[in-house]
Amino acid sequence: MDQSHPPHAVARLRAERLARSVKPFVARGSRAERCPACRVQPDYCLCAWRPRVEAHAGMCLVMHDIEALKPSNTGWLIADVVADTYAFGWTRTAVDPALPALLAEPQWQPYLVFPGEYAAPERVVDEVHLAPGKRPLFVLLDATWTEARKMFRKSPYLDALPVLSLTPAQLSRYRLRRSTRGEHLCTAEVAAMCLELAGDAQASEALDCYLDAFSQHYLAAKRRLPLDLSDELHQRLAHFR
DSSP string, 121-165: GGGEESS----TT-EEEEEEEES-HHHHHHHHHT-GGGTTS-EE-
- The pLDDT value recorded for residue 32 is 77
Q: Residues 174, 189: contact at Cβ < 8 Å? A: yes
- The pLDDT value recorded for residue 182 is 46
Distances (CA, A) of 98 to 89, 154, 238: 11, 18, 36
Residue 221 lies in a domain: yes
Residue 3 lies in a domain: no
Residue 116 lies in a domain: yes
Q: Which of 190, 236, 229, 230 is nearest to 209 (CA)?
A: 236
**Beta carbons within 8 Å of 177's beta carbon, 6+ residues apart:** 72, 186
108 lies in which domain range?
Answer: 9-22+32-238
* Structural domain count of the chain: 1
Residue 70 lies in a domain: yes
Give the whole-angstrom CA distance, residue 37 versus residue 153: 33
- The pLDDT value recorded for residue 4 is 60
Residue 27 lies in a domain: no
Q: What is the mean pLDDT of each run of 10 residues along the chain (241 residues)?
A: 74 90 57 88 96 98 93 95 97 94 98 95 95 97 94 96 85 59 77 95 97 96 95 97 88
Residue 216 lies in a domain: yes
- The pLDDT value recorded for residue 177 is 52
